[in-house]
Amino acid sequence: MKRRVAILISGRGSNMAALIKAAAAPDFPAEISLVISNKADAPGLERAKASGVPTLVIESKPFGKDRAGFEAVLQAALDQHGIELICLGGFMRLFTAEFTQSWYGRMLNIHPSLLPSFPGLDPHGQALRAGVKLSGATVHFVIPATDAGPIVMQGAVPVSDHDTGDTLSERILEVEHRIYPEALRLLATGKVRIVGEVCKTEGSGASENFLVSPVVARASDLTDR
């Protein structure tokens, strides 16, 4: 039986689309059963509908600061659709500790940096200001602290001296679209376990889950711009 997955979005749903595409493969161990947005005008809703995935809007704005009230409605929808796993795809809403704890080990998020470096807002700008030579993306389990859960998978890209936030973001997004489906595959097949505060992956080698984007893999790409 394929695991039933809900994707939560607030915007265009770029990672949502990558997950839906991956899940369309007959051998993928999960199915995208529902896409939920907290914004009625999120472009990702139309992308999901075009892919034949059921969608639902639960507006968060009317709840204001009442996170628990919003989450009660959200949880009811998840229960109604028999959701087993959650993937956050640019979902711009913070959860209460109670909600994240109830979904601990079953809710994934993706962040465009190599966590624990550069959590929170503007990770690309943080990376450029720090002068790092590698940046990337991280899929992690969601916990009450922001961008701080156990790491499932990471992918890296080189950072050029000529990069801007936009160019770096574009390359990292390609890595996001590669590692998020693979992280979901691992979770859905039970090959990921949490030991203490760290993820262990069944059968993983020393570099199996470390990806370098081929987009800027050549040294000349970093020096000739």
**CB 172 within 8 Å of CB 160:** no
For residues 125 and 2, give the distance between their C-alpha atoms in angstroms, rounded to a whole number: 39
Closest CA to 94 of 57, 122, 63, 67: 67
32's CB contacts (< 8 A; 6+ apart) are 5, 6, 7, 19, 20, 23, 53
The count of other CB atoms within 10 Å of the CB of residue 31 is 16
Which residue out of 81, 111, 162, 177 is catalytically annotated?
111
For residues 165 and 172, give the distance between their C-alpha atoms in angstroms, rounded to a whole number: 10
Instruction: Based on the residue annotation, tell me whether 81 is a catalytic residue of this protein.
Output: no
**CA 138 from chain center: how many Å?**
8
Written as six digits, the tokens of 130 are: 């720090």
Point out the residues that are catalytic: 111
